[in-house]
Amino acid sequence: MSAIKKYLSLVKFSHTIFALPFAMIGFFLAMKQGNISEQGDAHLGWGIHFSETWQLMIAKFFLVLICMVTARSAAMAFNRYLDRSYDALNPRTAIREIPQGVISPISAFLFVVLNCIIFMVAAYTINLICFFLSPVALFVILFYSYTKRFTALCHLVLGLGLSLAPIGAYIAVTGHFAVLPILFSFTVLFWVSGFDIIYAMQDIEFDQSNKLHSIPSILGAVNALRVSELLHLLSAITVVFAGFYGGFHFIYWVGILVFLGMLIYQHSIVKPNDLTKVNIAFMTSNGIASVVFGLLVIIDLFFL
């Protein structure tokens, strides 16, 4: 296995699919509304002129992608580094790179540091507010790895970390906060927290025996699913409200149907006494929900 493949596997690079479409929603929403931070005479809207403004947007687009990838890579690698002793004891996770000796702990830690540095440099290149907020973002996403040691609310901290994507991308373009991207951030917060609870149901016995905290290990499988359903209901409410607040068109509501359909689907295939389809619920349904919804929202913004 090449070094690149090892590290892509370490950070589960394919899972970037969850938050990235929402970051793109924040980015293109900012483009639609116009205004570019630190460029007083550069107003976009859809009357874009192909000039320095357009070049700036392309540059910011790639910088946002760099921030997304490096922040998530740092968070995942740090989680694997910090949890390496637990991962070695858990049959489900013993095949991961650090327990297997594919990547050494010190190499994983240096990978975390490298990604944090790249993230902060990219944030500084975007604008000053992104740079000043970058340590806050890093704190949230790295702190998550500690939370399972003392609170069952760890799922919400994970959701909070990924929820920074749409508002962060919006700020990268505009340099300020706004209500609509915050609504999308709440959508991500509740959505990710809900499906992380489902994923954590696989480790109920292990977490209980090792004094690790999670909602499934404390409440049990049945009640954990109820909490997950409640969080996904809140996600549905916020994304629907965002649609009305933002004045979106027909295509957005098609995306809503897909997103909500995937939420319902994952709860229909995961049962308290049957976790064989957890990975389908976790990766497949949520991946479809995120990608399809993100694409349709962007199409709605561009063409309607």
Q: For the segment 205-260, what is each residue's pLDDT rounded down to a tens digit?
A: 999 999 999 999 999 999 999 999 999 999 999 999 999 999 999 999 999 999 99
Residues, the chain, total?
304
Query: Looking at residue 39, what is its pLDDT?
Result: 45
Query: Looking at residue 34, what is its pLDDT?
Result: 64
Q: Is the pLDDT of residue 114 over 80?
A: yes
- 165 and 188 in contact (C-beta within 8 Å)? yes
24 or 281, which is more confident? 24
Q: Is the pLDDT of residue 120 over 80?
A: yes
Q: Is the pLDDT of residue 295 over 90?
A: yes
12 or 170, which is more confident? 170
| Confidence band, pLDDT 50/70/90 cuts, at residue 113 | very high
Query: Looking at residue 41, what is its pLDDT?
Result: 42
103 DSSP assignment: S
Q: What is the CA radius of gyration of the chain?
A: 20
Give the whole-angstrom CA distance, residue 182 versus residue 238: 10
Q: Is the pLDDT of residue 150 over 90?
A: yes
| Confidence band, pLDDT 50/70/90 cuts, at residue 284 | confident
| Confidence band, pLDDT 50/70/90 cuts, at residue 35 | low
Mean pLDDT of 167-187: 95
| Confidence band, pLDDT 50/70/90 cuts, at residue 17 | confident
Query: Looking at residue 46, what is its pLDDT?
Result: 45
Instruction: Provide the terminal-to-terminal Cα distance of the chain, rounded to the nearest Å.
Output: 46
Query: Looking at residue 18, what is its pLDDT?
Result: 85
Query: Looking at residue 297, what is its pLDDT?
Result: 97
Give the whole-angstrom CA distance, residue 97 versus residue 261: 35
Say which amino acid occupies 190.
F
Residue with tokens 């013993």: 94
- Write down the pTM of the prediction: 0.92
CATH class of residue range 13-303: mainly alpha
Residue burial 234-247, b: 16+ Cβ < 10 Å; e: rest: bbbebbbebbeebe
Please state, rounded to an integer, the average pLDDT across all residues of the chain: 91
Q: How many CB atoms lie within 10 A of CB 227?
A: 17
Contacts of 168 (CB under 8 A, 6+ apart): 23, 26, 64, 67, 130, 133, 137
Contacts of 53 (CB under 8 A, 6+ apart): 36, 39, 42, 44
Closest to 240 in 3D by CA, of 184, 199, 158, 171 = 184
| Confidence band, pLDDT 50/70/90 cuts, at residue 13 | confident
Please list the alpha-helical segments (H only) found in 34-153.
52-82, 84-89, 97-100, 105-126, 128-147
Domain boundaries, the chain: 13-303
Contacts of 55 (CB under 8 A, 6+ apart): none
Q: Is the pLDDT of residue 73 over 90?
A: yes
Q: How many CB atoms lie within 10 A of CB 81?
A: 21
Please give the structure tokens belonging to residue 256: 């809503």
